[in-house]
């Protein structure tokens, strides 16, 4: 079975309940859950029958216990999760407007996940990457580590690639996670130069390179396989031997919440590629799953709402897919 290492951070999520604001108080009721971009992708990968392990650090508290139990229940592997005494997970709050667009507020400066690249266990964790078919992480993942930690992680990924592991980089960009855009551009350049597959969007790249055209933005990415999502539900693909444009099917249900649209797209794309689909078929699968996810509140939709699984061709060997 194909295997994926997802690296990142899961946080405690507070989501404002619909109609929960009290008159004159500017607040309201919030539901508590757990979420994070790469964790969302890991859950959807597991639901798509991909063996996936989540790489992160958590505390030794009850909330961290609940996280691990929830991941195990979804089929996400937790053997690479490091537990740190006296630490806590990060916290974020979501407010969603009437159109389903969301605003995030974070409290994560001392979260356990930020220490993953500077622990006694780090070398063992990073050396294990070479045993996976794919390593997946996002720009948010890179933003939580310091410069030496990022260098350590990318060096380990480069070693793993020599043995056939593919690196998938999602450019999920959040300005608040970076000290400034110059630092972000430097880190992005290093990740883009290393990645085998890049999943990106105009939203992410225009925030770093304002005013550039789609062609200019795509030219900044040297990776052999690129998925470039536009503001409309369309993806431009570039891959060895060709280019293509893939449009999402028209929506038949109202959009409720766009949280995890990109995360679920990434999961379906990776799963399809590991299953032997070509990039066009993989992008179609990505749009299909994302189109379902945005019709439900929250990042993780009910299991019964998952679209029917498509039977893929047998995947080639790791070395052949490089």
User: Residue 299 forms beta bridges with which residues?
Assistant: none
| Angstrom distance (rounded) from CA 223 to CA 169 | 10
Task: Domain ranges for the chain, please list them.
Answer: 3-18+30-321
pLDDT given at position 311: 63
User: Residue 54 forms beta bridges with which residues?
Assistant: 6
Evaluate if residue 125 carries a pLDDT over 80.
yes
**Which residues in 8-123 belong to E strands, given as ranges?**
11-16, 30-35, 51-59, 81-84, 91-96, 102-107
pLDDT given at position 25: 45
| Angstrom distance (rounded) from CA 174 to CA 184 | 10
User: Residue 11 forms beta bridges with which residues?
Assistant: 35
Evaluate if residue 131 carries a pLDDT over 60.
yes
Global pTM value: 0.90
Q: Which of 53-62, 88-97, 247-256 has the lowest mean pLDDT?
A: 88-97
Q: Over the stretch 263-294, which tens digit does the pLDDT of each residue have?
A: 999 999 999 999 999 999 999 999 999 999 99
Q: Over the stretch 50-59, which tens digit does the pLDDT of each residue have?
A: 999 999 999 9
Run of H or E including 289: helix 279-293
Contacts of residue 124, Cβ cutoff 8 Å, sequence gap at least 6: none
pLDDT given at position 101: 66
Q: Which of 76-85, 184-193, 265-274, 296-305 has the lowest mean pLDDT?
A: 296-305
In this prediction, residues 37-57 reach a mean pLDDT of 97
- Catalytic machinery residues: 263
Q: Which fold has domain 3-18+30-321?
A: 3.40.1190
pLDDT given at position 88: 94
């Amino acid at each position: 079975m194909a295997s994926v290492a997802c690296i990142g951070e899961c946080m405690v999520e507070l989501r404002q309940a619909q109609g929960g604001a009290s008159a004159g108080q500017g607040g309201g009721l919030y539901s508590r859950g757990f979420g994070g971009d790469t964790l969302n992708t890991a859950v959807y990968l597991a639901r798509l029958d991909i063996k996936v392990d989540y790489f992160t650090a958590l505390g030794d508290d009850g909330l961290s216990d609940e996280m691990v139990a929830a991941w195990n229940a979804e089929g996400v592997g937790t053997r690479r999760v490091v537990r740190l005494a006296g630490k806590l997970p990060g916290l974020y709050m979501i407010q969603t407007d009437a159109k389903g667009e969301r605003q995030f507020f974070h409290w994560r400066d001392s979260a356990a996940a930020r220490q993953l690249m500077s622990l006694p266990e780090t070398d063992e964790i990073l050396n294990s990457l070479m045993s996976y078919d794919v390593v997946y992480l996002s720009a948010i993942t890179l933003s939580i580590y310091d410069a030496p930690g990022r260098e350590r992680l990318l060096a380990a990924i480069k070693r793993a690639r020599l043995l056939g592991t593919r690196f998938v980089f999602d450019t999920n960009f959040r300005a608040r996670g970076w000290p400034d855009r110059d630092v972000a551009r430097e880190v992005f350049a290093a990740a883009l130069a290393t990645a085998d597959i890049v999943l990106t969007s105009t939203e992410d790249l225009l925030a770093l390179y304002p005013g550039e055209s789609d062609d200019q933005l795509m030219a900044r990415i040297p990776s052999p396989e690129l998925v470039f999502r536009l503001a409309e539900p369309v993806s431009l693909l570039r891959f060895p031997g060709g280019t293509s444009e893939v449009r999402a099917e028209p929506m038949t249900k109202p959009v409720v919440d766009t949280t995890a649209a990109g995360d679920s797209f990434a999961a379906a794309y990776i799963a399809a590629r590991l299953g032997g689909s070509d990039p066009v078929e993989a992008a179609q699968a990505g749009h299909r799953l994302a189109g379902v996810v945005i019709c439900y509140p929250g990042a993780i939709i009910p299991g019964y709402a998952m679209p029917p699984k498509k039977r893929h061709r047998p995947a080639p060997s790791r070395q052949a897919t490089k």
